Amino acid sequence: MEKERFEWLSLARNLAAEAGVLIRAASESVRSEGAGQEKSCSVDLVTEYDRQAEDIILSKIRDRYPGHGIISEESNPKGELKKVTWVVDPIDGTTNFIAGLPEVAVSIGIIVDGKPEVGVVYNPIRNEIFHAVRGCGAFLDDRPIHVNKGITLSQAIVCVEFGYVRTNEGAVTMLEPVRKLLSRSVRTIRMIGSGTLDLCFVACGRLDAVYAGVAGEGWYPWDYAAGGLIAEEAGAKLCKVDGSEFSIFGDSVVCSSPSIVGDILEVIRPESEN
């Protein structure tokens, strides 16, 4: 399977770059077009460019590998899980994209028997491409990357994403870990707006940890499949917010430098488990 994985990597990189051309060109006008449409709720948006980028990617996967499964955020979110399945988010960070913020990514992961084996994440606005093949390390623009090692919580930049939960109870639950982190003198808190880039930023040391899912606002397989593998190959520790084993089909994530994962879990675990 070694040769196949690198063939998949090559195609995924090419498809991400091709979709990226569309996204980069559209980014100059999308805000003035008022392009965002509501999807699951008023804060979950999609544009015609999400769908166009998805068409570019999926059509060529189907042509090249008709026997492979596909899970894709816009047109096939439930998908069909096969031995080899491509997991695609054509534009992760759609709200950023509409607003003219640069943290936008194409995410393409390839999983085998449910386990990520290849991941590509491309930010066409910044022209940065992250990739990983299981067991072969993680890379940014073909340069090896690694998580920050040996840091303490007081040195850490921690990222949180609030997702689409907008109830009062959910807001309180999501904000409580932020309060605890600040009271324990974390260096700072950030919110990037793209889950897959959050994972890649932990991988390359721009962030030291990211978590999501404390109030049911967790991510989806297309958020995790590529970025999670890249982070893991860069030395990050991944688990669920309760400390149990991470899965791309799960409902929460902690992705962290190993030296502070215990501190992060202590802060974000539900009160009943502390």
**Taking the chain, what is the end-to-end CA distance rounded to the nearest angstrom?**
43
- Secondary structure element (H or E) that encloses residue 130, with its range: strand 128-133
- pLDDT band, very low/low/confident/very high, at 271 (cuts 50, 70, 90): low
User: What is the rounded distance in angstroms from the CA atom of residue 115 to the CA atom of residue 101?
Assistant: 32
Mean predicted lDDT score pLDDT of the chain: 90
Q: Which residue has the higher pLDDT, 72 or 270?
A: 72
The region of weakest confidence among 28-42, 100-114, 224-238 is 28-42
pLDDT (average), residues 217-226: 88
User: What is the rounded distance in angstroms from the CA atom of residue 117 to the CA atom of residue 81?
Assistant: 14
Question: Is residue 187 a contact partner of residue 156, using CB atoms and an 8 Å limit?
Answer: yes
- Amino acid making up residue 160: V
Give residue 19's pLDDT. 96
- pLDDT band, very low/low/confident/very high, at 192 (cuts 50, 70, 90): very high
Ramachandran category for residue 243: left, alpha or beta (phi over 0 → left; psi -120 to 50 → alpha): left
Give residue 117's pLDDT. 98
Rg of the chain on CA atoms, in Å: 18
Regarding beta strands 253-256 and 237-239, do their DSSP bridges make them parallel or antiparallel, or are they unpaired?
antiparallel
Q: 36-56: per-residue pLDDT in tens?
A: 454 444 334 457 888 899 999
The region of weakest confidence among 20-29, 152-161, 220-229 is 20-29
What positions carry a catalytic annotation? Answer: 73, 89, 91-92, 94, 223
pLDDT (average), residues 240-248: 94
Q: 3-45: per-residue pLDDT in tens?
A: 999 999 999 999 999 999 999 998 877 765 555 454 444 334 4
What's the number of CA atoms in the CB half-sphere (13 Å) around residue 137? Answer: 9
CB environment 202-217: b (16+ within 10 A), e (fewer): bbbbbbbbbbbbbbeb
User: What is the rounded distance in angstroms from the CA atom of residue 7 to the CA atom of residue 148?
Assistant: 30
What's the number of CA atoms in the CB half-sphere (13 Å) around residue 161? Answer: 28
User: What is the rounded distance in angstroms from the CA atom of residue 240 to the CA atom of residue 265?
Assistant: 9
**What length is written for the chain?**
274
> Does residue 155 register a pLDDT over 60?
yes
What 3-state class would DSSP assign to 95?
A: helix
pLDDT (average), residues 78-102: 91
Q: In angstroms, what CA-CA distances link 73 with 46, 127, 198?
A: 10, 22, 18
Give residue 43's pLDDT. 39
Residues of the chain with pLDDT > 70, as a percent, come to: 92
Q: The dihedral of CA 187, 258, 240, 9: what is its sign?
A: positive
User: What is the rounded distance in angstroms from the CA atom of residue 214 to the CA atom of residue 106?
Assistant: 25
- Amino acid making up residue 77: P
How far is C-alpha 109 from the chain's CA centre?
10
